[in-house]
Amino acid sequence: MIIFAVALLAVSVYLVSHLIKVYRYRRILAKIPSPDGHWLIGNAVWLLSNRPEQMFDLLRECAKKYWPIYRFTSPYIVTIVLSQMKHLTKSNLYDFLKNWLGEGLITSTNNKWQKRRKVLTPAFHFTILKHFLTVFNDETEILIKKIESTCTNTAVALESLVSPTTLQIISETAMGMRNIDDTTKTRYRRGIRKLAEIIFRRIWKPWLRLAFVFKLSEEGRDEKSVVQFLHNLTHKIIMDRETQLISGKILTEHSYSGRKILRMLDILLMSKICANNMDYEDIREEVDTFMFAGYDTTTSAICFLLLSLANHKGIQNEVRKEIEEILGPNRVPTYNDLQQLQYTERVIKENLRLYPSVPFISRIASEDFVTYTGYQIPKGTVLHLHIFDLHRDPRIYPDPLKFNPDRFLPENVKQRHPFAYLPFSGGPRNCIGQRFAMLEIKAVICGIIRKFDLEEVDKDTDLKFIPHFMLKPRSNMRVKFVPRNSL
């Protein structure tokens, strides 16, 4: 009886202290403008009262109405949040990825994240990227032949056209995996899309956030099936590569600073074999993370860029003129060639301003702080940073919907705050693969734009977006590819 009384007292003390903490938390945050919430479940009522497909537009309306900060997002505290090592922890929204990605570079935090980042950084050294350019060019040529054989002079859905190329590029460059069969590529892409649908249903259906409810639900069973397929694929990639590494079949004749060049997966395997500081599960987390992030982000960027060029023929012609002046009509680009494409790079940057592949990131405040507008943010607050709306703020980018590559002329960039443009996030937790992505996008565009004239089918001004890991339109983006030798 005494034990029961002590236990009851302990529970009561915990509940009272928790309620006091919640009261203090809500009292502080109540001063920040916000959509109307419920006294008990807060802004969750806002989620329940709207359809998921409406959320992207509703969040954009809130960003305009409650600028510069509101209790559902804080786009103008990005400098405080991203520029320091303090607020590195991702919010609990990323927990929904952990059944699939575990604690890879996207979802891990603090010491684990720092150690993994240190291990993986050499995989993206510029000399290694030079070596990968051959893969970028080869896969671009395969894509061009596919367009020539099946996709000319007709409206083409871009994502299904581009995604096999970007998936093959990340698989071969980072993992050393060649010739993935088309069936596996299709299952992989469909699997990721299915996981996105499941995760966003969990966000909008609070009861599915409870682990035991989710496991018993149809969504839980579907996720388990998809994740099993993705993990089995990853396991095969890892085991095959380890066999090649141990047997000495992997060619590492190129070097920089006296070191042999190894692909990302090779670096992870060497950490396991030589330093014994990683196991198969650790490697699997990073392989899944980079397969997903390295393919889906560049797919999004290339698709939106092709759509933009089709919609802005004058800019398309200027890009083609610069590429042909540097490369001629047929020569494949070298690393140095791509560095000279300054106008093309500005076009890519403007495209990523309007269509950032990752439109939204979320962190947790690691300590109390005060925003520049004077609002107090308590430790533990979830901070949603809307990159999409930051990039379209007319206070930063006049006439923000206009596609204007001159925004990225050096003299114009100098006038903006460095955290006003975040297509690859910013600060210490910025995207480790951003140089890889820029080179890949340039290489693909060099190939396509010299072979085809891109004609408008869908207007970029008509785009509507859905909640997803990446920026995704509600319907297929389509472009017509007209062979230039037929013009």
pLDDT for 270-301, tens place per residue? 888 887 788 999 999 999 999 998 899 999 99
In angstroms, the Cα distances linking 141 to 2, 331, 485 are 77, 12, 17
Q: What is the pLDDT of residue 128?
A: 84
Q: What is the pLDDT of residue 258?
A: 44
DSSP state of 233: H
Best CA proximity match to 471, nearest among 313, 360, 348, 325: 360
Per-chain mean pLDDT for the chain:
84
For the ranges 65-74, 97-106, 176-185, the lowest mean pLDDT is seen at: 65-74
Tokens of residue 400, six digits? 């923000």
User: Residue 159: pLDDT band by 50, 70, 90 thresholds?
Assistant: very high
User: Which DSSP string corresponds to 377-397?
Assistant: E-TT-EEEEEHHHHTT-TTTS
For the ranges 216-220, 383-387, 430-434, 449-453, the lowest mean pLDDT is seen at: 383-387
Q: What whole-number distance in Å separates Cα of residue 209 and Cα of residue 287?
A: 26
Q: What is the pLDDT of residue 62?
A: 67
Q: Between residues 236 and 404, which one has the greater pLDDT? A: 404
User: Quick check: helix, strand or coil at residue 264?
Assistant: helix
Tokens of residue 175, six digits? 């993992």
CB count within 10 Å of CB 39 equals 7
| Phi, psi dihedrals of residue 372, rounded to the nearest 5° | -65, -15
Best CA proximity match to 306, nearest among 298, 49, 484, 411: 298
Residue found under tokens 């490697």:
283
By the 10 Å C-beta count (0-12 exposed, 13-18 middle, 19+ buried), 336 is classed as exposed
Average pLDDT (28-44) is: 57
Average pLDDT (37-65) is: 59
Q: Is the pLDDT of residue 470 over 80?
A: yes
DSSP state of 418: G
Best CA proximity match to 107, nearest among 394, 383, 429: 429
Domains, in order of start, for the chain: 31-486 (1.10.630.10)
- Whole-prediction pTM: 0.85
CA 255 to chain CA centroid, Å, is 30
Asked if the peptide bond before residue 33 counts as cis, ω within 30 degrees of 0, the response is no
Q: What is the pLDDT of residue 31?
A: 60
Torsion sign (Cα): 102, 105, 111, 116: positive
Q: What angle do CA 110, 111, 115 make, to 5 degrees?
A: 120
Q: What is the pLDDT of residue 379?
A: 83
DSSP state of 103: T
User: Above pLDDT 70, what percent of the chain?
Assistant: 80
Q: What is the pLDDT of residue 216?
A: 92
In angstroms, the Cα distances linking 81 to 68, 110, 361, 420 are 15, 15, 11, 13
Q: What is the pLDDT of residue 259?
A: 46
User: Quick check: helix, strand or coil at residue 328?
Assistant: coil
pLDDT digits (tens, 9 = 90+) for 415-460: 998 889 999 998 888 999 999 999 999 999 999 999 999 999 999 9
Q: What whole-number distance in Å separates Cα of residue 441 and Cα of residue 143?
A: 13
Q: State the angle between helix axes of 434-451 and 313-327 in degrees (0 to 180), rounded to the nearest 10.
A: 100
